[in-house]
Structure 1
Amino acid sequence: MLMIALIVLSSILMSSRTLRRRLHHGDVGGESRQHFETSGIDSLSEPLLGEHDYSERLSALEDIWDDKKKEQFHWTFLFSQLIAQWAQWLANIVLGSGSLIGRLVSLPSTVINRENNRILPPSLSPLQQERHRNLRQRLEVPFDSSKTEHQDALKQLWTLAYPDRKLPGLKSELWKEMGWQGVDPSTDFRGGGFISLENLIFFAQKYPESFQRLLHKDNGIRAEWEYPFAIAGINISFMLAQMLDLQAEIPSSSTGIRFLHLLEQDEMAFDNLYCVAFEMMDAQWLAKRASYMEFNDVLKATRTQLERELALEDISSVKDLPAYNLLR
């Protein structure tokens, strides 16, 4: 019985690797996959967007989707979710307390605490310790509108977002066009902290085409009541800090521990993961045909999908995630 189970497991693993590689290289179904078009972070326990008082008017979405956009979302999400579900299922087989293999196989690098189903992390390398400490220090910096450095960062974001437009004052109605709530963007950071502004700037610099496309909502059939771009970005920074268990001195969640390995390979792994998460959130938004009041549901779905992709085998950097291919 054990031999049969091992043979079946081996076969499924090989199939999963093959399909994972085909997805990563864009070869799905014989065709090339096409791109489609929140003081400190600890202070809040819920996303920010749902707390704001906007108009209660909701507008109906178009009933008919462009066939090309449908096909693009279909292939990306179908195969990405399928592979992630396989990974979860295989993990349950290997690690499940009631399975035969789970009783015979143990992980050398991690220990599972059966009382709360948390993972006791292995010892961190000096490089992991340093980069994790630096990231936590970034998370603890609140946005301070009295600091010249923070003012300059806001101005830099405007210049990156609208290179051909005159820079407004730090308080202006024009900031609303970027997706801030009012005339003063500094009042919107709260639980996001200064790192959420750094994330937006990194996105605009590293992936300008994706940044501009999401800023201007260029893809798909959009809701008339769209999510505000800048506020959404703050939410994503906040969500990632929670998901990766970064408030802890050493993460004890499986996702947080996996992220430490990515951080060891890339000091900017958090910022790069932020960009992937923003693209993934927008893709979920379009796939669900969502409108403003559904933003938090979309953010939760984004977190679930991101956790699944981080659990995939052979993920050694953010660039190995299937959703990374959404970035341009």
Structure 2
Amino acid sequence: MARSIGFNLLQVLFVVALAPLVAGVLSRLKEIVQSRRGPSVFQPYRDLRKLFNKDEVVSEQASWIFRVTPHVVFVAPIFVATLIPVLTSYPLFFAFMGDMLGGGFVLALGGFFATLAAVDTANPYGPMGASRTRMVGFLAEPVFMIVFFTVSFVAGSTIPYIVQQHWVTPLSNFFAPSHVLLVIAFVMLILAEAGRIPVDNPTGHFELAMIDESKSLEYSGTGMALMKWGGQMKLLVLMCILLNVLVTPWGLASDKSTLEVLLAGPLVLFKIGLFLLVLVVIESSLSKLRLFRVSEFLGAAFVTSVVAMITGLLNF
């Protein structure tokens, strides 16, 4: 039990420590594709250090929700990291505390508090972005549920470790139409939940156009650092669910030895690096959708997930 808890903590450390690096690599790759010099891959670490050293300014209109929200946004991905296979292919101590649907609800809880905090300060731009964020969340949450229901139909469970074993054995399950459609729908979901192009522009700071960034508009200092770090961890956790559970569930530690768990880290980073290249291609090939077109994008994701569920039920 002690070893299992230790590996769980190691998974959490992996997510917490490397989430800013993943965000930095993604930003750097986009700059290279756009023929710009861009910042270093370690710039997110420098930004976090700078923010933690700054004073925090809180509006007099803000309630306890505004002060608590950064901690909720920061902790939610950490909790999910204890439920999913990040470095190991076998269940750890907290693996059966919640399934994939429960993990989605935990991540949604962080987004819900962030939306409340955006409205809490009475800034006119915060509620504007919060309403847009809730619109995207309202359209994305059914896709979450259908994807996880499809997983339960196909794999017989929504526990991430059990789902991962289903895709590994036999290999024919990996190329089933329901699985391919499921992966496509989940990638579209990641783009929406992480505020990436074509749903939102993470580098845009125009108040009238921003969606995801508007939730942290009123934060400064430590609060802003926790919001940024939590968003980076959320993206990494969603990548781990996609890559380690649905797409490439190979390369994880299968033996309960510390050395094998440590060696799984570079393999997971390699898979994440390949997926970052896919994200760069998507974001460099598409432009940000207008607000009324976001519903069409998420509607397409919903239809894709429903078709995946139907094909899974019909055993195609």
TM-score, normalised with respect to structure 2: 0.28
Using the size of structure 1 for normalisation, the TM-score is: 0.27
Richer in helix (by share) = 2
Which has the greater radius of gyration? Answer: 1
More relative contact order, 1 or 2 (CA 8 Å, 6+ apart): 2
